[in-house]
Amino acid sequence: MIKPITTEKAVRLIELKNIIVVETERKEKKEKIKKEFEEMFKVKVDSVNTLIHDNKKIAYIKLNKNNPAIDVATRLGMI
């Protein structure tokens, strides 16, 4: 399950660094998050960084430069 995060910082990361910020299940592995995101949105993911905050897992998904994050964010309803 992927739930988008729409804070000011998350929107700024979309615009400046081509990174989408989402909340995932705590037990999800980086590889599974990457595969699921690529299949769901038909984009190429360069890397996935995660952190645990308030018992939730936050994933920073860096997209390939050929896939603008703004397009994915629009499909997610973030922007």
| Annotated domain spans of the chain | 2-76
Q: Which residue carries 């995660």 as its tokens?
A: 50
Q: What is the pLDDT of residue 78?
A: 81
The 10s digit of each residue's pLDDT in 53-73 is 999 999 999 999 999 999 999
CB 41 within 8 A of CB 22: no
Say what percent of the chain tops pLDDT 70.
100
In this structure, what token pair is assigned to residue 35?
A: 């595969």
**Fold for the domain defined by 2-76:** Alpha-Beta Plaits (3.30.70)
Distance CA 68, CA 75 (A): 12
Q: What is the pLDDT of residue 11?
A: 95
In this prediction the pTM is 0.93
Q: What is the pLDDT of residue 46?
A: 97
What is the SS3 assignment for 79? coil
